[in-house]
Amino acid sequence: MKALSNFDKGGTSVISASNFADVMGVSKATLTRWEESGKYVPKVNSKGEKFFYIEDLKDVAEIKEMMLSDWASQEMVRPKQRYTSIELFAGAGGLALGLEQAGFEHLLLNEVDRDACATLRQNRQYWNVVENDVRALSLKDYAGKVDLITGGFPCQAFSYAGKQ
């Protein structure tokens, strides 16, 4: 339960309501309906945060699968071959970091925002960061050399297109 569970003050393993909803593949609204119907009733800590004791969820198939999972061996999984990617609208690199952890080698990251590019360069000096409008970007040199092209979605509340 490494990434999804924590421990309460007594050392008992717990999972946040938000993480539980994610594990179950349901929305927070569905989790609230389950709570109201009594199907899964969370505890509430002193900060008002909802959580569940793992022990109380041990018969839930998705939780049981995680409890029986061999996390150490899963973390050792590595790609059988090298995969490459290009990321457009890279922002500060959240998606790029995840893909890097999944084994992708970034051939190019494109971003128009100067500060975001500075963050990318600071965090990964070896990344090929191209600071430019995507409309001026040529990918001809990468034809046949890239496995995945991604495009980051703008954070609506903060993007140039949003209300800011």
Task: Write the CA distances from 71 to 1, 15, 65, 76, 80, integer angstroms.
Answer: 8, 16, 11, 9, 19
d(CA 110, CA 118): 12
**Residue 117 annotated among the catalytic residues of the structure:** no
Of 94, 137, 155, 162, the catalytic one is 155
Q: Looking at residue 70, what DSSP letter applies?
A: -
Which is nearest to 4 in space by CA: 74, 71, 79? 71
Question: Which candidate, 15, 17, 11, places its Cα nearest to that of 2?
Answer: 15
Catalytic residues: 155
